[in-house]
Amino acid sequence: MSSEVRKFSVSTQTTAAFVSCDKRVFHVEREDLDRMTHFMPPPNAFIPPAPPPKLLEDSYTLELLFRFVNSEEDIDLDRPSFSTVAALAEAAQKYQVYSATTVCRQYMKSQAKAHPVEVMQYAAKHDFRDILDAVAPYTVGTAVATMQEILPDHYLIPWVLFNDAHQQAMQAMVKGQFDKEVLHVTQENMKYYWTDPEEVWFPPPKEACGLGDKQQATWDAIHKRIMYALVSTGGQLDIFGALSVKDDMFARLESCPYCYTRLFEWREYAWRVIDNKIRDFTSFL
């Protein structure tokens, strides 16, 4: 037996009835449906004794959706769970509830970092290219099998190429500097560096390291944090850039201007790699 939703419980000659998948009944003004959506079942669907149309969405999703149809103001999408709003976003697209599609699209884009796989699936399904470009960097490192499940075929190969570009850029950053044991170049540790003078991009220092006997331990700690950022982000370079080099790292190097500058130069180099080697996802389509 179906039960009515209190907010949409009044049935009149001007309303249309709908039943959710969990058997809740909604009575919505036909004028609002006609004005606010691109969805209206045929008139004979509402002529007794014909049963009201059964929709695939649950009552919570439909209640939110029909509130948009009713032109309610201040509908707070921060209170429901992400899965609820994601379901609303799909329903809004399906039934073309104009006011809801815009709000839901903005919401889903804002969730790119927190729910990258789900947002990528939503954006790919509806070909929202601005969202694809926003969310794709946060899917880097995701298993190909997972992406194969959520992406249409014509998006999968571009994603694989995009993911590979990120991984190669990450390797370039590591090879560019942090495959070295130390960063303060001296005659004693020159053997750890390039032997080809044309490949040396930073001149050796003119004086001893200001870190003294703490040089190795300090750089080891910095290396460890940066490598952890690389591994933990799975090659997601936008996230890595924000995580990798922190102010406290520079504070540890203040006693040695040369080491301080080396870290600063590497950070600038890393951002150049990100900016120059990574194109937007949609450029791979």
Q: What is the pLDDT of residue 199?
A: 47
Query: Do 102 and 21 belong to one domain?
Result: yes
Cβ neighbours for 134, distance < 8 A, ≥ 6 positions apart = 109, 112
Q: Answer whether residue 117 is part of any domain.
A: no
Encode pLDDT of 146-156 as tens digits: 999 999 999 99
- Could you tell me if 93 and 211 lie in one domain? no
Q: What is the pLDDT of residue 195?
A: 45
Both 211 and 103 in one domain: the answer is no
The sheet carrying 3-4 orders its strands as: 3-4, 24-29, 15-19
178 and 259 co-located in one domain? yes
Indicate if 77 and 194 belong to the same structural domain: no
Residue 146 lies in a domain: no
**Does the structure show a pLDDT above 70 at 217?**
yes
pLDDT in tens, 44-68: 555 566 688 899 999 999 999 999 9
Asked whether residue 236 is assigned to any structural domain, the reply reads yes
Tell whether 87 and 177 lie within a shared domain: no
Instruction: Compute CA distances 171 → 19, 92, 175, 191, whole Å.
Output: 54, 42, 6, 22
CA distance 196 to 175: 15
Whether the CB-CB separation of 166 and 278 falls below 8 Å is answered with: yes
More confident residue, 110 or 16: 110
- Same structural domain, 270 and 165: yes
Query: How many domains, the chain?
Result: 2
Tell me: do 93 and 168 sit in the same domain.
Answer: no
Side chain identity, residue 74: D
Torsion sign (Cα): 207, 213, 217, 220:
positive
In a domain, 103, yes or no: yes
Lowest mean pLDDT among 110-114, 248-252, 274-278: 274-278
279 and 163 both lie in a single domain? yes
Residue 24 belongs to a domain with what CATH number?
Answer: 3.30.710.10
Which of 110, 138, 167 lies at the terminal end of a domain, its last residue? 110
Mean pLDDT calculated for residue range 65-86: 94
As a 3-state breakdown, the chain gives helix, strand, coil percent values, each rounded to 5, of: 60, 5, 35
Model confidence over 229-266: pLDDT tens digits?
Answer: 777 776 676 666 555 678 889 999 999 988 888 888 78
Do 188 and 278 fall into the same domain? yes
User: Is residue 172 situated within a structural domain?
Assistant: yes
Please give the pLDDT value at position 241: 58
The mean pLDDT of 148-175, rounded to a whole number, is 89
pLDDT at 191 over 70: no
Question: Which residues constitute the domain of residue 261?
Answer: 158-284
